[in-house]
Amino acid sequence: MIKGVVLSILASCLFGLLYYYPVLLHPLSVIDIFCWRLLTSFPAIVILILIEKQWSAIHLLFVRIKTHPLLLIGLLCSSLLLTVQMMIFIWAPINGHGLSASLGYFLLPLTMVISGQLFYQEKLSFLQKIAVGLAALGVAIEIVNTGAFSWETAVIALGYPVYFMTRRKLQIEGIAGTFSDFFFIFIGCLIYFILNYSWDEIIHDMTSFPIFIPMLGIITAIAFAMYFVARRLLPMGLFGLLGYVEPVLLSMVSVLFLHESVSSEHIISYGLIWLSVCVLALEGSLFVLRAIKRKRIR
């Protein structure tokens, strides 16, 4: 279990590094950075799948596409939804919206809980109701104070549940879904490069960033590798609880390295949302402790 915890935290740290990474690739555009990330990381992810001996899951996915061709449309939609999220992940930190985006990741566990209740009839626990109430109050105060709610926060907090529900509907959970999403985005990026990039421009980018561009793919693949292994080693409750580490790190990157700050008009609303996440983390901790206690009794 300790190995799983360490791998999960290290994966979150690498995702935090990737949050800052676009700054290192200045003056490349958001689209260029996005394409380079996919073009360098997809081959590494394929190697990861081979090492993990998970190719049977990918083969089964191709069989399903052949049997049900309409599945291809759903897979393309899933890839498109992930593309939006990955673009925001790159765009936000280099445009002064790192904290707003990280707030979306803080809200994500809450919107997932609400989505579970609305679409899958999952019941909210007492602490979950408190967390949802605090987050709703924080959002309401934010709207009253600023007249709007940051679009990047909303897209992340509301878009990811749609993405995960799409994957659940298509029954492409796990590594097969990740391969499918990255595969179609990889093809899109490849077409973009062919249509918009010359060999001279590709060579220029590679010579300008001879270390940072290759490392972009390597770091992405290693982060996903650690994520996959941690998910296999840890109980679901503990794995979900460790998911709160990433938005904390993204906020720290925004404040410490991107030099963003929370203005006075956002303090109360952000504070309530962060408090709601703490309530969810408390519930997760209690769940994990109860599970460990039951395991010891047995």
Which tens digit of pLDDT belongs to each residue from 260-283? 987 777 888 888 888 888 888 888
pTM, two decimal places: 0.87
What the block records as the tokens of 236 is: 């679901």
Average pLDDT over residues 128-157: 84
pLDDT confidence of residue 238: 65
The Cβ of residue 17 has, within 10 Å, a number of other Cβ atoms equal to 15
Which tens digit of pLDDT belongs to each residue from 4-45? 888 888 998 999 999 999 999 989 999 999 999 999 989 888
**Who's near 280: CB < 8 A, 6+ residues apart?**
109, 110, 113, 127, 128, 131, 244
Which tens digit of pLDDT belongs to each residue from 43-94? 888 888 888 788 888 999 999 999 999 999 999 999 999 999 999 999 999 9
CA atoms within 13 A on the CB side of 250: 25
pLDDT confidence of residue 148: 67
Using CA atoms, how far residue 28 sits from 13, 39, 230, in Å, is 24, 15, 33
pLDDT at position 242 over 90: no
Give the C-alpha separation, 291 to 280, whole Å.
17
Give the C-alpha separation, 280 to 64, whole Å.
37
